[in-house]
């Protein structure tokens, strides 16, 4: 019954429809905001409804094993490109994160964005379509299409509403990601041709291509191209330098989406496409991934410590946190992979919240320089209270969300690569060092510059309270989410459905 509703198509294209509806409301910011709010909360409700009914859907046993909903239709028959969307537990978690992050992004830019509101919201909605598509597409050509679609609105978002060196940053961001994705496109086409030559079937379908037998050398090159595209998005050391610039100069909503979702498309791509398509090549490159991830954790944590701009510091912390995700994927072991996937969601919530909070501070003080603040606990206690919670979540305090992901990653990885896990533990101390430095200099001590600061208003309290509750809930009771991804993880790591 639910399969006939084309829910996945709705999920992907409803925001795009909202984007078109934005045209009449172009000149009226209030109407545009209400429209965007309606569309985004509709998406969130749909995602939550799917989550509420996932066990029922799993019992229906749709066409693909392990999937909850699948939609499949021919699209460009000449090349065998099909319109295949599929939802499993992993996709559902990412879909929920996407719908949620866009609501947060909208809420934090409610007042902060005052110019060209219609265009801003239209771009946000277009990006939501792109990201939803990335998390649902099961046809490589379709995946690549969405992959590029989500990139372009972000380019304009940073370029138009950004701060500082925004043009430099957005071009840098665009060039980095384009470079990776073009190589991935080549690899996709090569894979398609190889498959066609061997079997005579022209297809871009993920599951058909997984079955393609490939010589080891070819596999390595193709995986390397995929990996490069994903590693840039991750970002892994030393391909990370676009991230601090993009984050620092992006508007708050852009930072929330970047941290919450765009980085996740890299790790998601590696889990969904990279490892399953090229298992042997992935095995061969695993030591490299460990090395890059651990180097990234330690390097980024050290660099974060030296930062003077709050947003830059949190951007570097993202690199460190995503390093744990990379380690868990590299281990390719059920516990570690579950940890990585949970960590993707956790990082989206925690870092998104931190970026939102720095954005709120920036709106008030018009600076993000750490040295300008101090003693905020006495001045804006509510802001400080929430900031402390999210900082502690970020350092992986048990009972809050990040601990769950990090600990599972480390526990699982230790069974495969004790040295890598042991080194990654060092990163936990380094994370604490730069985070408590930030908290101390901003929240504690005495005020260093007399800044006109007002505490949070009701809208901001609502946003942060929801995020804080999520942080606690995912830290105390992650079992439902772990159960949601249990099936997909088992399938991915070679178990039977």
Partner 1 sequence: MKLYLAFILLLPLMGGIFNALLGRTLPRRVGEVVACGVIWSAFACAVLAFAGFNGPVRVEFGSWLAAFEFQAPIALYLDQLSLSLTLMITFVCGLIHLYSVGYMQDDPAHARYFALLNIFVFAMLVLVLAENLPLLYLGWEGVGFCSYALIGFWYTEEQNATAGRKAFITTRIGDTAFGIAIVWMYQLSGSVSITHLNTMGTLIPAAVVTTLGLLLLAGASGKSAQLPLSVWLPDAMAGPTPVSAQIHAATMVTAGVYLLARMFPLIGGSGTVRAAIALTGGITAFYAATCACCQRDLKRILAYSTISQIGYMVLGVGAGALTGAAFHLLTHAFFKALLFLGAGCAITALHHRQDIFRMGGLRAKLPAVYWPFLAGALCLAGFPLTGGFFSKDAILAGVAAQGGPLYGGLLLLGLITAFLTSFYTFRMVFVVFHGEQKNPLPPGGGGLGRGGSDNSAANILHPPPHPLPSREGEHLELPKIMTLALVPLALLGLCGGMLNLPSYLGHQGILDGFLGSIPGFGGGEKASQGGEIVLQIVAAILSLTGLGLAWFRYTGSRRAEALAREEAGLPGAGFLLNGWRLDNLYGALIINPFKYVARFFWKQGDEAGIDGALDGLARFIARLGGLPAGWCTGRVATSLFGLAGGVCVVLAYLVWVTLP
Which residues form the interface with partner 1 (CB under 8 A)? Answer: 172, 175, 238, 241, 244, 299, 302-303, 305-307, 334-335, 338-339, 375, 377-378, 381, 385, 388, 392, 397-399, 403-404, 407-408, 410-412, 414-415, 418, 421-422, 425-426, 428-429, 432-433, 436-437, 440, 443-446, 476-479, 482-483, 486, 489-490
Of 148, 277, 126, 162, the C-alpha closest to 211 is 277
Asked if residues 221 and 280 have their Cβ atoms less than 8 Å apart, the reply is no
For the bound state, the minimum distance from the C-beta of residue 208 to partner 1, rounded and expressed in Å, comes to 29
**Spatial separation of the C-alpha atoms in residues 263 and 98, rounded to whole Å:** 12
Other C-beta atoms lying within 10 Å of the C-beta of residue 215: 9
* 45 vs 429 by CB, closer to partner 1: 429
Least separation in angstroms between CB 334 and partner 1 = 4
Cα separation of 300 and 321, whole Å?
A: 9
Give the Å distances, CA to CA, from 210 to 133, 219, 279, 341. 20, 11, 9, 21
Locus of tokens 């180097």: 295
CB atoms within 10 A of CB 45: 11
Radius of gyration of the chain (CA): 22
Closest distance between partner 1 and the C-beta of residue 254, in Å?
A: 20
Residue bearing tokens 């526990």: 411
Nearer to partner 1, 257 or 443 (CB): 443
The span from the CA of 351 to the CA of 393, in Å, is: 9
Adjacent-strand bridge partners of 359: none
Q: How far is the CB of 251 from partner 1 (least distance, A)?
A: 22
Closest approach of Cβ 367 to partner 1, in Å? 20
Nearer to partner 1, 49 or 425 (CB): 425
When the beta carbons of 136 and 344 are compared against partner 1, the nearer one is: 344
Q: Closer CB to partner 1, residue 212 or residue 343?
A: 343
Q: Least Å distance between CB 86 and partner 1?
A: 23
Instruction: In angstroms, give the least distance from the CB of 300 to partner 1.
Output: 9
Query: Residue 120 or residue 390: which is nearer to partner 1 going by CB?
Result: 390
Quick one: how far is CA 233 from the chain centroid? 9
Residue 153 or 244: the one with the smaller Cβ distance to partner 1 is: 244
CA distance 262 to 129: 13
- Residue 273 Cβ vs partner 1, minimum distance, rounded to whole Å: 23
Of 117, 126, 158, 131, the closest CA to residue 34 belongs to 117
**What is the Cα–Cα distance from 448 to 439, expressed in whole angstroms?**
14
219 or 350: CB nearest partner 1: 350
Query: Nearest distance from residue 240's CB to partner 1, in Å?
Result: 8
The residue (of 86 and 244) whose beta carbon lies closer to partner 1 is 244
**Considering only CA atoms, which of 491, 130, 118, 145 is closest in space to residue 334?**
491
Instruction: Give the C-alpha distances (Å, rounded to integers) separating 423 from 378, 410, 413.
Output: 38, 10, 11
**Residue 75 main-chain phi, psi, to 5 deg:** -125, -75
């Amino acid at each position: 019954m639910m399969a006939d509703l084309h829910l996945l198509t709705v999920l992907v294209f409803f925001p795009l429809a909202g984007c078109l509806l934005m045209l009449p409301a172009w000149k009226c910011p209030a109407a545009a905001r209400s429209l965007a709010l309606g569309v985004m909360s509709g998406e969130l409700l749909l995602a939550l409804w799917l989550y509420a009914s996932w066990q029922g859907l799993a019992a229906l046993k749709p066409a693909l094993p392990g999937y909850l909903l699948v939609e499949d239709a021919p699209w460009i028959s000449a090349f065998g490109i099909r319109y295949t969307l599929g939802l499993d537990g992993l996709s559902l978690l990412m879909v929920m994160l996407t719908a949620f992050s866009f609501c947060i992004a909208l809420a934090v830019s409610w007042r902060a964005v005052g110019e060209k509101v219609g265009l801003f919201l239209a771009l946000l909605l277009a990006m939501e379509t792109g990201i939803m598509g990335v998390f649902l597409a099961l046809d490589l050509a379709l995946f690549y299409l969405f992959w590029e679609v989500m990139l372009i609105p972000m380019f304009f978002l940073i370029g138009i509403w950004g701060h500082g060196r925004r043009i430099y940053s957005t071009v840098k961001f665009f060039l980095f990601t384009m470079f990776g994705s073009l190589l991935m496109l080549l690899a996709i086409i090569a894979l398609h041709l190889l498959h066609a030559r061997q079997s005579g079937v022209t297809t871009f379908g993920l599951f058909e291509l997984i079955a393609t037998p490939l010589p080891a050398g070819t596999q390595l090159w193709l995986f390397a191209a995929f990996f490069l595209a994903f590693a840039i998005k991750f970002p892994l050391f030393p391909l990370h330098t676009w991230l601090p610039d993009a984050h620092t100069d992006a508007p708050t909503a852009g930072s929330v989406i970047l941290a919450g979702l765009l980085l996740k498309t890299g790790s998601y791509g590696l889990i969904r496409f990279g490892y399953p398509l090229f298992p042997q090549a992935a095995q061969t490159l695993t030591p490299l991934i460990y090395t890059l991830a651990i180097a990234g954790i330690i390097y980024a944590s050290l660099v974060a410590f030296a930062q003077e701009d709050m947003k830059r510091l949190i951007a570097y912390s993202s690199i460190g946190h995503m390093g744990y995700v990379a380690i868990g994927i590299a281990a390719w072991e059920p516990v570690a992979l579950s940890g990585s996937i949970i960590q993707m969601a956790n990082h989206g919530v925690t870092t998104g919240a931190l970026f939102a909070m720095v954005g709120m501070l920036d709106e008030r003080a018009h600076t993000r320089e750490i040295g300008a603040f101090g003693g905020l606990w006495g001045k804006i206690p509510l802001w400080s209270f929430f900031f402390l919670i999210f900082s502690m979540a970020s350092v992986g305090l048990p009972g809050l969300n990040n601990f769950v992901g990090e600990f599972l990653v480390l526990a699982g990885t230790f069974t495969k690569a004790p040295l890598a896990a042991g080194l990654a533990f060092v990163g936990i101390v380094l994370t604490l060092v730069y985070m408590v430095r930030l908290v101390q200099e901003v929240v504690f001590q005495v005020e260093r510059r007399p800044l006109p600061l007002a505490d949070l208003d009701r809208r901001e309290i609502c946003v942060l309270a929801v995020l804080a509750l999520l942080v606690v809930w995912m830290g105390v009771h992650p079992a439902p989410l772990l159960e949601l991804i249990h099936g997909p993880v088992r399938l991915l790591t070679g178990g039977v459905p």
